[in-house]
Amino acid sequence: MQRWRTLVKRLAITGVIAGVLVAALAWGARSWVSGSSRGHIVDRDAEVRAGTAIVLGCRVNGEEVSGCLEERLETALGLYTTGRVQRLLLSGDHGRKGYDEVNAMMDWLVAHGVPKAHIFLDHAGFDTHDSMVRARVVYQVNDALVVSQGFHLPRAVFLAQQAGIEVTGVRADPPQGSVCGGSRWREPLACLKACADVLAGSAPRFLGPPIPITGDPCASYDRPEDLAGCR
């Protein structure tokens, strides 16, 4: 019995130490991310310009975009229609059959008047780190406005900076508040992962041949009906 109590005590102490260590690392990561992104995040109506808007994906239900994603698309549409960007890079999860964030995003934008010729798709934006590295390496984006909600933007801006992109984050939050604020709880650990990816020089899950954002977007399309309109 005494041996059992000693073991339980040691496990409890180890658990407490591990918890304190993870909390300290998460705090340090969050501080690094926040410090790097400070002064690089603006509201959706700000007069900022770049060649490209990187629109980060979020949950879809078939062809229907979620409220969270619609906020991002509405913001990107405003940036495009007011001439603050010329190209839209839609980056999200299309890693399995039957789940496709990026084509749902493009369909929404096309339905709202954006020509396909100005829309590029990144099917392998499985997380924010992958999206930003691929934006720089595959799509050769040099400067960008990154569109997401305020809780997510410090990490997105930080990762874009680390990938070598001159970036400003644009808040997709509407005046009445975002519908996806519940995702905030995971940001400390997500920041810890982001910093670990940067320090380790982690590569995206997929790269592939270059598709320059200044060129033709057809190489980024995968549906026959979209490819049919390409040269």
Q: What DSSP state is assigned to residue 178? A: -
Tell me which architecture the domain covering 36-227 has in CATH.
3-Layer(aba) Sandwich (3.40)
- What confidence score (pLDDT) does residue 18 get? 46
Tokens, residue 201: 């020089």
- What confidence score (pLDDT) does residue 9 get? 54
Nearest in space to 33 (alpha carbons), one of 182, 134, 181, 160: 160
pTM as predicted: 0.88
84-87 contacts, C-beta under 8 A, 24 or more apart: 84/47, 84/48, 84/49, 84/50, 84/53, 84/145, 85/49, 85/50, 85/51, 85/52, 85/53, 85/145, 86/51, 86/52, 86/118, 87/51, 87/52, 87/53, 87/118, 87/119, 87/120, 87/213, 87/214
Residues 6+ apart with CB under 8 A from 52: 85, 86, 87, 88, 89, 135, 139, 141, 143, 144, 145, 213
Is the CB of residue 79 less than 8 Å from the CB of residue 46?
A: no
174 burial class (0-12, 13-18, 19+ CB within 10 angstroms)?
A: middle
pLDDT tens for the chain, 231 residues: list them.
Answer: 666 666 555 665 555 454 444 555 555 567 778 888 899 999 999 999 999 999 999 999 988 999 999 999 999 999 999 999 999 999 999 988 889 999 999 999 999 999 999 999 999 999 999 999 999 999 999 999 999 999 999 999 999 999 999 999 999 999 998 888 656 667 888 888 999 999 999 999 999 999 999 999 999 999 999 998 787
Longest dimension (CA), the chain: 78
